[in-house]
Amino acid sequence: MIRIEVLGPGCINCLRLERETERAVELARVEAEVRKVSDYAAILAYGVLSTPGLVIDGRVVSVGRVPSAGEIAGWLAEAAGQTVGS
């Protein structure tokens, strides 16, 4: 199971990133757990200074923007060791 963390205090873009991430999980057809992280100390522990941030299996993949569901699905497929749509 892929572990995904959406980093941010709950702003509009953080909520958009969470929605795009949920869509990406469906697109990539992977088993994943999506968790919201709003604790500033936990966010800073990843070295993220600009939210929203996205972490997949402990690796920061995006900071300060909302990537598309397709882009996130690509990262998820990579984390799962597959190509998108397999």
The predicted-structure confidence for 31-46, as pLDDT tens digits, reads as follows: 999 999 999 999 999 9
Task: Tell me the three-class secondary structure of the chain, residue by residue.
Answer: CEEEEEECCCCHHHHHHHHHHHHHHHHHCCCEEEEEECCHHHHHHCCCCCCCEEEECCEEEEECCCCCHHHHHHHHHHHHCCCCCC
Predicted TM-score (pTM) of this structure: 0.92
Q: Is the pLDDT of residue 82 over 80?
A: no
Interval 4-61: pLDDT, tens:
999 999 999 999 999 999 999 999 999 999 999 999 999 999 999 999 999 999 999 9
Which sequence spans correspond to the domains of the chain? 2-80
CA angle 51, 68, 17 (to 5 degrees): 35
Range 2-80 has CATH code 1.10.3720.10: no
Find, among 65, 67, 54, the residue nearest to 2 by Cα: 54
